[in-house]
Amino acid sequence: MDRQRNVRLEALMAEYGLTHQGLADEINRITAQIFGENHPHHCTDRHVRRWISGEVQWPWTRYLHALEQLFDRPAQALGFIPRGRHSANLPAPPQSPAPTKEAPVRRRRFITASAAATVALALSIDETPLRGRLSMSDIARAHERIDRLDAHFSAIGGAPLLDVATAYLDRLTTAADHCTYGPRVEQALHTAIAALCSSAGWAADDAGDLDAAHRWRTTALQRAILGAGHRAQARAWSDLAVHARRGGHHREALRISQTALASREARQAPRYAALLQSRLAIGHARIGNRPAAARALVAAQAAHDRIDPTEPAPRWLNFLTAAEISGLAAITHQAMGQLADAETATAQALALLEPGLRRSRAYYSVQLAELQIAQGNTAGARTTAATVDTSKVSSENITGRLAAVHHALSTA
277 pLDDT exceeds 90? yes
Report how far residue 76's alpha carbon sits from residue 74's, in angstroms, rounded to the nearest whole number: 6
> Higher model confidence: residue 343 or residue 20?
343
Q: What is the mean pLDDT of residues 270-276?
A: 91
Confidence of residue 88 (pLDDT cuts 50, 70, 90): low
Q: What is the mean pLDDT of the chain?
A: 83
Confidence of residue 155 (pLDDT cuts 50, 70, 90): low
pLDDT in tens, 52-72: 999 999 998 888 888 888 887
Q: What count of residues does the chain have?
A: 412
DSSP code string of 303-325: HHHT--TTSPPPGGGTT-SHHHH
> Higher model confidence: residue 277 or residue 261?
277
* pLDDT, position 111: 38
* pLDDT, position 154: 66
Least confident span in 119-133, 312-326, 376-390: 119-133
For the beta carbon of residue 67, count every other beta carbon within 10 angstroms.
23
Q: What percent of the chain has pLDDT over 70?
A: 85
Amino acid at 280: L
Report how far residue 57's alpha carbon sits from residue 216's, in angstroms, rounded to the nearest whole number: 45
Report how far residue 245's alpha carbon sits from residue 44's, in angstroms, rounded to the nearest whole number: 49
* pLDDT, position 100: 38
pLDDT in tens, 340-382: 999 999 999 999 988 778 888 999 999 999 999 999 999 999 9
> Comparing C-alpha atoms, which of 84, 81, 94, 121 is closest to residue 33?
94
Q: Are 162 and 203 in contact (CB under 8 A)?
A: yes
> Higher model confidence: residue 97 or residue 141?
141
Report CA-CA distances (Å) from 157 to 18, 46, 205.
Answer: 19, 32, 10
Q: What is the mean pLDDT of residues 100-110?
A: 39
HSE (CB half, 13 Å, CA atoms) of 391? 11
CA angle 128, 151, 404 (to 5 degrees): 125
* pLDDT, position 87: 56
Note the helical H segments in 36-161.
Answer: 45-53, 61-71, 103-123, 136-156
Confidence of residue 25 (pLDDT cuts 50, 70, 90): confident
Least confident span in 33-42, 223-232, 249-258, 326-335: 33-42
Please name the helix (run of DSSP H) or strand (run of DSSP E) that holds residue 25, with its range, or none: helix 20-35
HSE (CB half, 13 Å, CA atoms) of 267? 5
101 pLDDT exceeds 50? no
Q: What is the mean pLDDT of residues 79-99?
A: 61
Confidence of residue 226 (pLDDT cuts 50, 70, 90): very high
Q: Are 104 and 151 in contact (CB under 8 A)?
A: no
Report CA-CA distances (Å) from 189 to 125, 197, 217, 223, 379.
Answer: 15, 12, 17, 9, 53
Q: What is the mean pLDDT of residues 273-300?
A: 94
> Comparing C-alpha atoms, which of 374, 389, 286, 273 is closest to residue 333?
286
* pLDDT, position 125: 61
pTM for this entry: 0.66
Angle between helices 396-410 and 358-374 (to 10 degrees): 30
Distance of CA 387 to the CA centre of its chain: 20
141 pLDDT exceeds 60? yes
Torsion on CA atoms 108, 152, 215, 246, rounded to nearest 10: -70
pLDDT in tens, 380-389: 999 999 999 8
> Comparing C-alpha atoms, which of 136, 135, 203, 137 is closest to residue 169?
203
> Comparing C-alpha atoms, which of 196, 203, 185, 206 is closest to residue 146?
196
